[in-house]
Structure formats: C-alpha cells, structure tokens
C-alpha cells in the first residue's frame, strides 16, 4: 500500500503547491532546449524533491529514472571517507580517470522511443520535451539533495566539474540554507526560492486528500495540523495519513496525543535540564574497565538525542518549537515568550551558519538564564 505522499504526489507542474510564478519558472526551465543548472531553495517539506522529480521526468523523458543520479549530501556529513565517497560518486572510474558521471551520455538522449511513457508517469508539462527531435542535448541529471551540507572542501571540487563536464548533463541542487553554498556554485545555477507552504494551501491539500479517502474529519482538524507543521506540507500529509488510517480524524484530541508521542523525549529532557540551570556538566562514568568523562546536562541530552534520531540542528529547533507551543511544559507566559523569541533568533542564525550546534548551545544557555530570572 503506497503512502499518501506517494499516492497523491503532483504529476504535473501545475499541481505543485507553489505560487504560479514559481511553477512557471520551474516548468520553463524543464521544457527549455538548453536547461540551466537549478538550485531549489526553501525549508523542509515544501516540495523541493517533488519539483526536481517532475523536472527530471520532463527533461529526460519516460526513462528518466535510469539516468538520474541522486546524492544525499547530508549522509556524507561526519562520516569517514566522505570526500572519497563524494569523488567516487562524481567520478565512478576513479579519481585519476577522465570518465565522469557528468560527462556520460545515454542512448535515450538520441532516441526517445527507447522508453515509452506510462499512464502513471505522464510528461508534467502535458507533452514530451523531445517532440520529434532527433537528439536531446541533455541525457543525464545529477541531483545533490541538501547541498548546503556539502561543506567547504567538496563544493570547489563540484564547481570544477560543472565548468568542464556538463555538455550533456545538468545538476539540480536542493538546499534549506542556500547561503551555505559558495558563490561560485550559486552563480552557475538558476535559483528558485520557495517559501514555506501557506496555511491555506496546506488546508486545501488536506481537504482534497480527505475527500478522496472519505474521512470523517473534525471541522477544526485541518487548521490544527497546519498550525503544528508550520509550513511543512510533507509533515501535514503524513500526520493526516497516520490519523486517517487509524480512524482518528474525528477528534482534535487525537492530534494532540499524536504530537506528544512523536516528540523525542531527549529533546524535552535537554530543555528541562537547561531550565534547571544544568546546561553543561561533566561526570565520570565507568565504561568497561575504565572511567570515562561524559558530558551530561542539557548538552549531553541534546547530543544523545541528535545521535539517536539523526537530527540536524533544524530538526532540533522544530521539536523545541513544538514543545513550547503545545503546552507540554508548565511555563509562565513571559518565560514561554522569551524562550520562543530566543528560539526564533536561533533559527535565523542557523540559516546563515554551517556550525548549527553552536547556536543550539547558545539557546540552551539563554534558556537557563531566562529560567533563573523568572524564578528569582
């Protein structure tokens, strides 16, 4: 059984949950005889992946999946041999080889009849880009998801490849924080900035999906979901699916229970430790036959939660915001307001920095200071 994200994913450009202007820019780039490199920038869950999939289908034709290569840049972060893995992806023949992924052509580019279109995968613009042409100039797409996590070493390597090996290929990047991408890369792309999905669009999408599944829905549920997900359409659809498959869409309390159960305890523990003034503590613990100095307090709980759930700093901010706005912590109105303002400042700084944990740590120290002020 396919997920609702997959089942109700847009199949055409005009179905994307973007403004008409942004849909037009994306479609124009995809149907162009000489498509540009693309940078899709915006917060999580707004449809960046859906957009590049539609572009890939339009540019490469029915056989797009065989010549679309995807790298999750976030997976490289903090892993051993990350640079070697990155180079192997872009240069499969080895670092000394002249064979590059971007330089390879595909037979599909010369004969569009090799792969035929299916009813479930129509051309997103309404017609095939080839349209009788004997040759398509672009035969391969290289997708770098979360390109803002590439780091300072990998980006110059990528820039050099874009300059010399992209006659028959194009790059599409997605990023939450495009300011982390070097100017030399950004200047070689057409940037499409996509804002968080509006409340109205989220509610409209949920109403459509609900109608197709004949759900019995509380009249205020869609608005509640839109408020909780804060512009993340993907999370809104997932939330509705969880509630819908269990038959829990008729009562708003079921949404509150779902949110409470899915907020990681480690994040809550980190904030509670900070509010108690225990931000940064070291303790000796016996591990095996040796004593080891271990970080505890708010930062210890934070590191453990990020490691256990593979969270990045943006995920932590999202869960902290959820904690502060769902009433799970008994806080005074002024303390809650101060914490939310500090968290908002933290979120802004995260978008401009590659050292996200520093800003989360600063928030924890500020939280401890606020708690001490309000309790004294």
Domain count for the chain, please give it.
3
Among 193, 225, 241, residue at a domain's last position: 193
Average pLDDT, stretch 10-28?
96
| CA gap 297, 352 in Å, rounded | 27
**How much is the pLDDT for 33?**
87
- 11, 124 Cβ separation under 8 angstroms: yes
Q: In this structure, are 292 and 241 located in the same domain? A: no
Share of the chain above pLDDT 90, in %: 48
| Tokens encoding 217 | 């829905």
Among 209, 244, 262, residue at a domain's last position: 262
pLDDT tens digits, one per residue of 26-45:
999 999 988 999 999 998 89
Judged against a pLDDT cut of 60, whether residue 132 lies above it is answered with: no
Residues 6+ apart with CB under 8 A from 319: 263, 264, 267, 311
The number of CA neighbours under 13 Å toward the Cβ of 11 is: 12
Q: Which helix (H) or strand (E) holds 302?
A: helix 297-309
Q: In this structure, are 203 and 188 located in the same domain? A: no
Give the CATH number for residue 339.
Answer: 1.20.272
Q: In this structure, are 150 and 23 located in the same domain? A: yes
Q: In this structure, are 334 and 258 located in the same domain? A: no
Q: Which residues of 137-154 are buried (b: 16+ CB within 10 A; e: fewer)?
A: ebbbbbbbbbbbbbeeeb
- Looking at per-residue pLDDT, the higher value among 326 and 223 belongs to 223
| Tokens encoding 168 | 């028959």
Q: In this structure, are 115 and 219 located in the same domain? A: no
Judged against a pLDDT cut of 80, whether residue 205 lies above it is answered with: yes
Q: In this structure, are 56 and 160 located in the same domain? A: yes
**How much is the pLDDT for 6?**
92
- Looking at per-residue pLDDT, the higher value among 188 and 102 belongs to 188
Angstrom distances, CA of residue 239 to CA of 24, 30, 195, 207, 255? 29, 32, 21, 13, 8
- Looking at per-residue pLDDT, the higher value among 24 and 308 belongs to 24
CA 132, 134, 136: angle at the middle one, nearest 5? 95
Average pLDDT, stretch 183-190?
93
Judged against a pLDDT cut of 60, whether residue 113 lies above it is answered with: no
Average pLDDT, stretch 44-48?
93
Judged against a pLDDT cut of 60, whether residue 112 lies above it is answered with: no
Judged against a pLDDT cut of 90, whether residue 135 lies above it is answered with: no
CB-count exposure of residue 353 (10 Å: 0-12, 13-18, 19+)? middle
Judged against a pLDDT cut of 90, whether residue 348 lies above it is answered with: no
Domain that holds residue 249: 199-262
Instruction: Look up the pTM and report it.
Output: 0.75
Average pLDDT, stretch 173-198?
93
Judged against a pLDDT cut of 60, whether residue 133 lies above it is answered with: no
Give the CATH number for residue 154.
Answer: 3.40.50.300
Among 193, 212, 236, residue at a domain's last position: 193
- 184, 150 Cβ separation under 8 angstroms: no
| Three-state secondary-structure class, residue 177 | coil
Judged against a pLDDT cut of 60, whether residue 260 lies above it is answered with: yes
Q: Which of 51-60, 84-93, 215-224 has the lowest mean pLDDT?
A: 84-93
**How much is the pLDDT for 97?**
67
Q: In this structure, are 221 and 278 located in the same domain? A: no
Q: In this structure, are 296 and 366 located in the same domain? A: yes
Q: In this structure, are 278 and 154 located in the same domain? A: no
| CA gap 326, 347 in Å, rounded | 19
Q: In this structure, are 162 and 76 located in the same domain? A: yes
Average pLDDT, stretch 46-63?
94
Q: In this structure, are 88 and 176 located in the same domain? A: yes
| Tokens encoding 117 | 């279109």
| Residue from 363, 357, 356 nearest 179 by CA | 356
Q: Which helix (H) or strand (E) holds 285?
A: strand 281-287
Give the CATH number for residue 216.
Answer: 1.10.8
Torsion sign across C-alpha atoms 5, 7, 10, 16? negative
pLDDT tens digits, one per residue of 61-104:
888 998 999 999 888 776 677 788 888 888 887 666 667 777 77
Q: In this structure, are 109 and 164 located in the same domain? A: yes
Average pLDDT, stretch 7-25?
95
**How much is the pLDDT for 107?**
56
**How much is the pLDDT for 117?**
63
């Amino acid at each position: 059984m396919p997920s609702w994200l997959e089942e109700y994913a847009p199949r055409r450009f005009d179905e994307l949950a973007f403004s008409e202007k942004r849909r037009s820019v994306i479609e124009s780039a995809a149907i162009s005889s000489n498509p540009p490199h693309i940078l899709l920038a915006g917060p999580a869950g707004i449809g960046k992946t859906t957009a590049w999939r539609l572009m890939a289908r339009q540019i490469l034709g029915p056989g797009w999946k065989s010549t679309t290569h995807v790298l999750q840049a976030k997976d490289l972060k903090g892993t051993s041999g990350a640079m070697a893995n990155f180079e192997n992806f872009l240069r499969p023949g080895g670092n000394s080889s002249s064979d590059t992924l971007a330089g390879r052509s595909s037979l599909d580019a010369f004969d569009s009849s090799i792969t035929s279109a299916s009813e479930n995968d129509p051309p997103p613009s309404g017609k095939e880009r080839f349209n009788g042409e004997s040759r398509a100039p672009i035969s391969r797409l290289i997708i770098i998801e979360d390109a803002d996590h590439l780091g300072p070493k990998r980006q110059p390597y990528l820039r050099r490849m874009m300059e010399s090996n992209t006659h028959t290929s194009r790059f599409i990047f997605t990023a939450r924080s495009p300011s982390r991408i070097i100017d030399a890369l950004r200047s070689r792309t057409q940037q499409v900035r996509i804002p968080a999905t509006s409340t109205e669009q989220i509610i409209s999408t949920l109403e459509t999906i609900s109608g197709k599944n004949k759900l019995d829905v509380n009249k205020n549920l869609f608005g509640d979901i839109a408020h909780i997900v804060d512009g993340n359409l993907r999370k809104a659809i997932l939330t509705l699916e969880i509630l819908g498959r269990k038959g829990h869409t008729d009562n708003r309390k079921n949404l509150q229970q779902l949110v409470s159960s899915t907020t990681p305890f480690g994040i809550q523990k980190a904030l509670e430790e900070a509010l108690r003034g225990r931000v940064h503590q070291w303790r000796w613990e016996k591990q095996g036959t040796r004593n080891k100095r271990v970080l505890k307090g708010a930062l210890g709980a934070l590191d453990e939660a990020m490691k256990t759930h593979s969270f990045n700093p943006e995920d932590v901010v999202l869960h902290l915001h959820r904690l502060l706005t769902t009433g799970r912590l008994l806080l005074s109105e002024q303390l809650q307001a101060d914490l939310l303002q500090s968290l908002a400042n933290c979120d802004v700084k995260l978008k401009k920095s590659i050292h996200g944990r520093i800003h989360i740590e600063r928030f924890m120290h500020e939280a401890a200071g606020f708690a001490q002020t309000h309790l004294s």
